[in-house]
Amino acid sequence: MLHLLIQTCAAAMATVGFSLLFGVPAHYYPSCALIGGVSWLAYLLLLPYSSISIATFAATVIVILMSRWFAVRKRCPVTIFLISGIIPLVPGAGIYRAAYYTVTDQLYLAVQTGFDAVKMAVAIVLGIVFVFEIPQTVFQIGNQRAHQKH
Q: Number of helices (H) and strands (E), helices first, in the chain?
A: 7, 0
Residue-level pLDDT at 67: 94
pLDDT greater than 60 at residue 150: no
Pick from 30-34, 65-69, 133-137: least confident: 133-137
pLDDT tens-digit series, residues 76-108: 999 999 999 999 999 999 999 999 999 999 999
pLDDT tens-digit series, residues 12-28: 999 999 999 999 999 99
pTM of the model: 0.85
Q: What mean pLDDT is predicted for residues 21-41?
A: 94
d(CA 125, CA 91): 12
Nearest partner of 121 among 100, 93, 145, judged by Cα: 93
Which residues have a Cβ under 8 Å from the Cβ of 76 and sit 6 or more positions away? 28
pLDDT greater than 90 at residue 138: no
Residue-level pLDDT at 146: 47
The structural domains of the chain, with segments of one domain joined by +, span 2-149
Nearest partner of 38 among 23, 58, 53, judged by Cα: 58
Q: What mean pLDDT is predicted for residues 65-84?
A: 92
Q: What is the DSSP string of 38-76?
A: HHHHHHHHHGGGS-HHHHHHHHHHHHHHHHHHHHHHHTS
